[in-house]
Amino acid sequence: MDNYKIHPLLNQFKKGIESHPDRIAVIDKNENNVTYADLSKKISNCREILKKKGVQKGSRVLVAIPMSIELYVILLALLSLGGIAVFLDPWLKGKQMSRIIKSVNPDLLLISSKLRWLAYLMPACWKIKNWWTVKTIKGSDQQWSTTEVDENDIALITFTGGTGGNPKGADRSFGFLSAQLKALHPHLKGNCAYKDFTNFPIVGLADLAIGNTVVVPNVNLMKIHKAKTAKIAKTLFQTKANRLIVSPSLLNKCIDSIIEYRTSYYLRHVITGGAPISYTLIERCLNQFPSLNFEAIFGSTEAEPMAFTNFEVMLKKMRDPLKGAYVGEIVKEVELKIIEPRRGPVCKKIFKTSSRNGAVGELIVSGEHVNKNYFENEKAFIENKIVDKNNKIWHRTGDIGYFSNGGLYLVGRLSRVMKHRSKTLHPYPIEFHLCRKLGLNDVGYIQTNQKQFVLVIGGKTTVSENEIRSACREAGYPLDKVYFFSKNLPRDPRHRSKLDARRLLHQVS
C-alpha cells in the first residue's frame, strides 16, 4: 500500500476500475474489447514499460495515439506515474507542430505505427531521444500503484489551434481534471451503466471513472463530415451502444444512419456539445426520434462544462432565431459573467462585469475546472485570461452572448463583432434566421475590410438573391453583396460547425 494519501483523481479511477472487474471498459473501432480487470492489468504493464523508458513525475510525454484501448491505458498509466501527457491537435499545421514540439522538448514520444512515418518527416521529432511505437499493450498481474501528486501538478497539456488560429497549450492540473470529472459526473452517471459511443476522449476518461463502457466510433475523426453511415450503423448495432456523446457534426451523421436503417438500435440517450447546435438539428432529432432523450452541454477546451440543457427546452427558447443560440442554464460549478466586448487584453483597471438580463458581451468564466494557465505562453495568458482585484483568474471564452431569465444565449464570436453606424451586429441571429426562413443551412454573414456586409451561401440552393435580401431587410441586417459558392463554406476542422470567417473573408476579398 502507498504510505501517502492518494490524489482524489487517481483514487476515483482506481475505485472505478476495481468496482466492475467483469464489465467491459472499452470497445475499440475494430470491436475489440477489454474488461475493467484486463484494463487494470494493461495499465500495470504499461506503467512498468514507461518507468523503464525513464518516465517519472513531471516527465513530458508526447502522445500521438488515436482513440483506442491503448490510448486510455497509456493515459491512466501516465497519470499514475505523475507524468504529463502532451497532446497536439491533429488539425495543426506541420510548422505549428514543429514549433510546439521544440518548445515542449518531450522526454518520450508515444506513437502509433500508422503515424510513425509522419513523425520521420518532422525534424523536431528527431530530437526526441526516446520513442515507443505502441501496438497492443499486454497485461500484467502485478498490482499498479500511484505516485504522490498534488492539486497543482500538471497532468495534461492540450495544444489546439483554437478559433483564433494561434496554437496554445492549455495546462490541465490534477486538481483541474478532478474538478472536471466531478462536474461531468451528474450528467454522465445514470441508473445503470451506459455504453457511450463518443468522439470526446475526456468523456471516455470520465466514463472509466464512473464505470461506464467507452465505445470508440468506427469513423475517421479527422473527416467526420465524410463518415460512412454503414460503419456507424454497424458499430451501434454490434456494440449495443445505448448513448451517444458526440459533436453536432457526428450527431448529424448518426441521425442519418438511424434514418437510413430505420432503427434507433439500442439508443436511449443523446448528449452533444462542442459547437453551437442549430435549430434545424434540434427539430430534426425531436421530430424523428421523440422517444430518445436529447441533451446539450456547452463548454470549451478551457472550461467544460459551463451550461447544460435539453433539446425540448432549446426548441422553445429558439423559436425566434433572432435571439441567437440557446445553450442552457449555468452549471453550479462555475461562475459565468459578461464583460463589454473588447479586442486585446483586459486589465484589473478596466475589468467590469455584468450579469443582468439582456446585456450583450463576451462571456468569461471562473471555477475549479476552468483552465488557469497555458504552457510557457505569457502572451496567451494575457490575451485569454483576466486577473481581478481579488486575484481570481477568469477565462475569456471569446463567445458573445447574454443572459435571459437564468438561461444563456450565444449571438457570435468576439472575432466576428461588426459595426453598422451606431449599431453593433452579431452573425448567429441572421444566419439562424436565414436557415429557418429560407432553408439555408450553410451560410456566413461577414463584414469585409472595406466595411461591406456580405452574405455567402454554400452548396446548392434554389433560393434567389432577392429572397435573401428581403429576409435580411425583414431582420434589420444590412447587406451589400451576396455570393453563392458551389462548395461548402470553410468550417473549423475539429467540429465542422463553427464558420472559419477568416478563410471565408480571404475567399471573397
Dump pLDDT digits (tens) for 318-373. Answer: 999 999 999 999 999 999 999 999 888 888 777 888 777 889 999 999 999 999 99
Q: Is domain 181-364+376-386 classified as CATH 3.40.50.300?
A: no
Helix 174-188, helix 8-19: angle, nearest 10 = 40
Side chain identity at residue 44, one-letter code: S
Residue 38 is predicted with a pLDDT of: 97
Q: How far apart are CA 377 and CA 166, in angstroms?
A: 11
- Specify whether the CB–CB gap between 401 and 324 falls below 8 A: yes
Residue 164: pLDDT above 70?
no
For residue 366, the tally of other CB atoms under 10 A from its CB is 18
Q: How many helices (H) and strands (E) does the chain have?
A: 16, 25
Q: How far apart are CA 111 and CA 95, in angstroms?
A: 19
Instruction: Give, in words, the CATH class of 8-177.
Output: alpha beta
Q: Which cell numbers hold the place of 346?
A: 483586459
Residue 1 is predicted with a pLDDT of: 42
Q: Which alpha helices (DSSP H) does 62-189 contain, by range?
A: 69-81, 94-104, 113-120, 123-126, 174-188
| Entry pTM | 0.93
Q: How far apart are CA 51 and CA 147, in angstroms?
A: 12
User: Which helix (H) or strand (E) element contains residue 158?
Assistant: strand 154-160
As annotated, the residues of the chain forming the CATH 3.40.50.12780 domain(s) are 8-177
As annotated, the residues of the chain forming the CATH 3.40.50.980 domain(s) are 181-364+376-386
Distances (CA, A) of 497 to 90, 278, 442: 17, 10, 10
How confident is the model over 12-30, as pLDDT tens digits? Answer: 999 989 999 999 999 999 9
Q: What is the residue-averaged pLDDT of the chain?
A: 92
Indicate the pLDDT class of residue 491, thresholds 50, 70 and 90: confident
Identify which of 114, 103, 196, 234 has the alpha carbon closest to the alpha carbon of residue 157: 103
Q: What is the mean pLDDT of residues 469-479?
A: 97
Identify which of 281, 251, 37 has the alpha carbon closest to the alpha carbon of residue 139: 37
Identify which of 282, 257, 308, 304 has the alpha carbon closest to the alpha carbon of residue 432: 282
169 strand-pairing partners: 159
For residue 130, what is the DSSP state? E
How confident is the model over 290-319, as pLDDT tens digits? Answer: 989 999 999 988 999 999 999 999 999 999
| φ/ψ (deg, to 5) at 180 | -65, -45
Count, residues in the chain: 509
Residue 325 burial (C-beta neighbours within 10 Å; 0-12, 13-18, 19+): buried
Residue 472 is predicted with a pLDDT of: 97
417-508: CATH architecture: 2-Layer Sandwich (3.30)
Identify which of 333, 344, 399, 329 has the alpha carbon closest to the alpha carbon of residue 370: 333
- Specify whether the CB–CB gap between 385 and 395 falls below 8 A: yes
Residue 161: pLDDT above 60?
yes
Q: What is the mean pLDDT of residues 52-60?
A: 97
- Specify whether the CB–CB gap between 242 and 194 falls below 8 A: yes
Q: What is the mean pLDDT of residues 214-229?
A: 91
